[in-house]
Amino acid sequence: MIFNEKNIVLKNGKQAILKTPCIEDAEMLLDSIKISTGETEFLSRTMEDWESVTVESEEKFINNVRESQNTLFIACYVDGVIAGNCDITFKTGSKTSHVATVGIALQKKYWNIGIGSAMFKELIKAAEQHKGTEIVDLEMIEGNNRAKALYEKFGFKIISVKPKYFKQKNGTYQNLVYMQKYL
pLDDT in tens, 105-154: 999 999 999 999 999 999 999 999 999 999 999 999 999 999 999 999 99
Query: Was domain 6-139 assigned CATH 3.40.630.30?
Result: yes
Compute the distance between CA of residue 27 and CA of residue 6 in angstroms, rounded to an integer. Answer: 22
Share of the chain above pLDDT 70, in %: 99
Compute the distance between CA of residue 83 and CA of residue 72 in angstroms, rounded to an integer. Answer: 17
| Beta strand extents in the chain (DSSP E only) | 6-9, 15-19, 71-78, 81-90, 99-106, 135-141, 157-167, 173-182
Domain ranges of the chain: 6-139
Q: How confident is the model at residue 44 (pLDDT cuts 50, 70, 90)?
A: confident
